[in-house]
Each structure stands twice: as structure tokens, then as C-alpha cells.
Amino acid sequence: MTLLTVAGLHVRGPEGRDLVSDVSFTLDAGERLGLIGESGSGKSMTALAIMGLTPPGMTVSGSVVFDAPSLDRSLDRSLDRTEVVGAGERRLTSLRGRATSTVFQEPLTALDPLMRVGRQVAEPLRRRRGLRGRALRAAVTAALEEVRLADPERIARAYPHEISGGQRQRVAIAMAIACDPALLIADEPTTALDVTVQADVLALLDGLVEERGMALLFISHDLAVVSRIAERVIVLKDGAAVESGSAGDVVNAPRHPYTRDLVGSARRLDGALDGALDGAIDWRTP
């Protein structure tokens, strides 16, 4: 079943410059797609447009359609199919958390520095699943345990600055998957982490997506990382898609010069990591 259909997506900045130009793709339920490109390539702006979260002053055109059953059976079934472009905030709010959720690059800025971690994890559980009291506290503990955080009670009492970067990103993942979204968008989720922690977080995401049967849109500038977790890849440059295909085909037989540069950089990085990202694609494959 096709979960997400992006057709002719354009995002134009307030100065009139095209930030995303005619990007189109589909994503099936349970599928893993990687968006890759350097800074300014349009990959994060594409993700924001999919969520209906583009900054003020941006002009979005084209089509972004979610077709995902709502978790709230009291809602009209017409909400199962949502056109994001042009939708009102109420409609978009009903979509976020249920159909899709996002893990951002820097958890220290994504999390509220003045709110204890447990309360932040509790908020989507309270709003979307209606949990209260003891049931809510138990669900928070279970969510933190699921992302492999030791001593979840201590983590729940802590403020974001009192835990490590890797722990913060695990908290952000727990919040994102709390309502069992059909699609998880991971926007550079490991860039701010050191190599060893990066590998652990990637393994965690890989396992959670597999166990829950979620679709994954994984965004990164690092082809070595994307090729580890995504089945299919779209390469963006200056806001436009220049190449797409299976991860293996794009890595081992890149057609566009820009993609060949990315592959060369990823090969050098893969050698420098010296096995820290064990399980990344084998560059020796003919």
C-alpha cells in the first residue's frame, strides 16, 4: 500500500529562490527511503514540507498526500487520506504523531530544556492515547526502556542537559514513536553524535522500524550511513532530484557526477570509521 505520495513538490523561499524543485516520489508502508545530499540540497526542506512545517514566508506547491489509517477510530475515515499542501493546521495536527512523526538532528534543541524528560515523553502519550496517572507513568517507563535507556526512572526525572547526547537522541526517538506512526522521518538523527554512539543509534532505529513495521524516510548528507539503513535512495542537489534507485545500485554504479562525488566521500569515510559502522554496504561489491 502506498503510504506517501509526493508529486511535483516545489518550495520557494521569501526571496523567490527555489529551495525544492519538482521533487516526486512514493513511499510504501514499511518501506525505507533515504534522501541524501549536501547542506542546502533541499532534503530537510522536503521533510518540513511533508510535515506541513515549512517556515513562514515559504511558498509550497505540488502535492503531498498521506494515505494512512487513523489510530483514532472516532475520527472520520476521510482523515485517512490527507493532502498536506494547503491543509489547515487542525488537519495537520491530526496527522502528526498518528500518521507521521519526526526525529530531528539536534535533540538538545528539539527537547524543552526547562521540562523534565519524562514529562516530554508523556505529552504525546497523553494527547494521542489518552493515558493518565499510573498508566501514563508506566507507558513513559516502557517507552524509555524500548529505546534501551538504562535506569529509565532516573532518565525520566532528569532535564535534557543532565543526560548525554546519545541519551537525548534516544529520548527524542521514544517521543517520535510513542503513538506508533505509520511513517518515521529521521532528519540527520546521528550527525551530532560521535561515531560509536552514531552506530548504536542507527542500530536502534533499524530495530524499531523493523519491529513496528514503520515506513522510514531517512535524511542525511552521509551516503555510508544512508546505505546502511535505507533500501532505496534519492539524491538531491540544489533542490532537485538528480538520481534515484536501490541503495546498492546508487552506491556501486552511480550515474550522476554529483553522486559519484558522494560515493567517493563515503568510501573515504567508511575506511576512516574502521568498522565502527559495521554492517554498512560493502564497497567491494562489483
Superfamily of domain 1-97+187-286: P-loop containing nucleotide triphosphate hydrolases (3.40.50.300)
Q: pTM of the prediction?
A: 0.86
Neighbours of 38 (CB within 10 A): 14
pLDDT recorded at residue 272: 46
Report DSSP state, residue 111. S
pLDDT recorded at residue 268: 63
Domain regions of the chain by residue span: 1-97+187-286, 100-180
The answer on pLDDT for 253 being more than 60 is yes
Secondary structure (DSSP) of 116-184: -HHHHHHHHHHHHH---HHHHHHHHHHHHHHTT-SSHHHHHHS-GGGS-HHHHHHHHHHHHHTT--SEE
Give the span between the Cα atoms of 275 and 225, in whole angstroms.
12
More confident residue, 69 or 259: 259
pLDDT recorded at residue 10: 97
pLDDT recorded at residue 284: 32
Strands 59-67 and 81-83: antiparallel
> Is the distance from CB of 161 to CB of 78 less than 8 angstroms?
no
The highest-confidence range among 45-54, 119-128, 255-264, by mean pLDDT, is: 45-54
How do residues 94-120 score in pLDDT, each as one tens digit?
888 778 999 988 877 889 999 999 999
More confident residue, 93 or 22: 22
pLDDT recorded at residue 280: 42
pLDDT mean across residues, the chain? 86
> Is the distance from CB of 130 to CB of 136 less than 8 angstroms?
no
More confident residue, 275 or 246: 246
Name 184's bridge partners.
Answer: 101, 216
> Is the distance from CB of 70 to CB of 44 less than 8 angstroms?
no
Residue 39 in grid coordinates: 547542506
128, 129, 191 from 136: Cα distances, Å: 12, 9, 32
Residue 156 in grid coordinates: 525520566
> Per-residue confidence at 278, pLDDT binned at 50, 70, 90?
very low
**How big, in percent rounded to 5, are the helix, strand and coil portions of the chain?**
40, 25, 35
